[in-house]
Amino acid sequence: MRARWRPRVALGTMAGMSDQAPEHSPVELYRLLANLIREGRVEEVRPGRPARCRVRAGELLTNWVPWISLAAGGGQQTRHWRVPAIGEPCLLFSPEGDLGQASALVGSFSEDMPQGSESADVERHDFSATDYWEHNRQDDTLVLDIAQAITLRVGTSTLHITPEGTTLTTPEYTVDSAQTTFTGAATVEGLFTFNAGIAGKAGASGKNSVQGGMDFEGGQINHDGKNIGGTHAHPDPHGGNTEGPQ
Ligand SMILES: [Fe+2]
């Protein structure tokens, strides 16, 4: 269906908006239309507040203009911060064709700044050449791969992961598992308590060692099947057994 010309006043106006269209020459109109949306590349960035970038669109280099982020809900709600890369492709949206009011929308892949995956099942966020997270809908997997360190913090609890080691700092730590195995040595700096028995064997040295005294209460202490505890007795050469140890 062909669009019908209608007087501008019939299109509806907003408060403060003139119902008289400004006079423009065809050349001027063409320029405004061409400037409404332009393709460009980010040439400079200024992260300080207010964050701005300058965009190269052909011969034109814009003034400092804002870029459009994923979210800008302020400090109390969702906001997303990411400074565009130098050379990143973008679209310039200029209200009324005025490049002075332009905003830059980044997010179009290009040959020199290509996509990070070729899978329809993958959602992936690359932070750098080494760091990324990737979710695979088909496999139900999430990978977070960071080269130097990850810190997870909830209040006073922190899990700090680095290539050299991992530290969990938390007021109380519970492993709720039927079986736990440490494949290497384990050191307990605090009181070591066991409530359901203890069983083990010596390591390469062939013996176990305890420094300091040890008290046994109840039960019986055996060595190679013989009672060596507080109730043991020795055969008496005069017949019978001796009394227990003093
Ligand atoms: Fe004895």
Condensed to tens digits (0 to 9), the pLDDT of residues 161-202 reads 999 999 999 999 999 999 999 999 999 999 999 999 999 999
C-alpha 238 to ligand 1 mean position (Å): 17
The reply to whether 129 falls in a domain is yes
The reply to whether 38 falls in a domain is yes
The reply to whether 130 falls in a domain is yes
C-alpha 48 to ligand 1 mean position (Å): 82
Give me the pLDDT at residue 240, please.
Answer: 84
- Domain enclosing residue 134, as ranges: 122-169
C-alpha 218 to ligand 1 mean position (Å): 18
Structure tokens at 16: 């403060």
Considering the domain architecture, whether residues 100 and 133 belong to the same structural domain is answered as: no
Considering the domain architecture, whether residues 101 and 129 belong to the same structural domain is answered as: no
C-alpha 242 to ligand 1 mean position (Å): 9
The reply to whether 82 falls in a domain is yes
**Structural domain count, the chain:** 2
Q: Using one digit for the tens of pLDDT, what is the confidence trace for 92-150? A: 999 999 999 999 999 999 999 999 999 999 999 999 999 999 999 999 999 999 999 99
C-alpha 211 to ligand 1 mean position (Å): 22
Name the E strands within the chain.
37-46, 52-57, 60-61, 89-93, 103-106, 122-126, 132-136, 141-145, 150-154, 157-162, 165-169, 222-223, 226-227
C-alpha 225 to ligand 1 mean position (Å): 14
Instruction: Tell me: pLDDT of 246 over 80.
Output: no
The reply to whether 87 falls in a domain is yes
Band of pLDDT at residue 238, cut at 50, 70 and 90: confident
- pTM score of the predicted model: 0.80
The reply to whether 217 falls in a domain is no
Considering the domain architecture, whether residues 100 and 127 belong to the same structural domain is answered as: no
The reply to whether 190 falls in a domain is no
Considering the domain architecture, whether residues 93 and 42 belong to the same structural domain is answered as: yes
- C-alpha neighbours within 13 Å on the C-beta side of residue 3: 4
C-alpha 197 to ligand 1 mean position (Å): 26
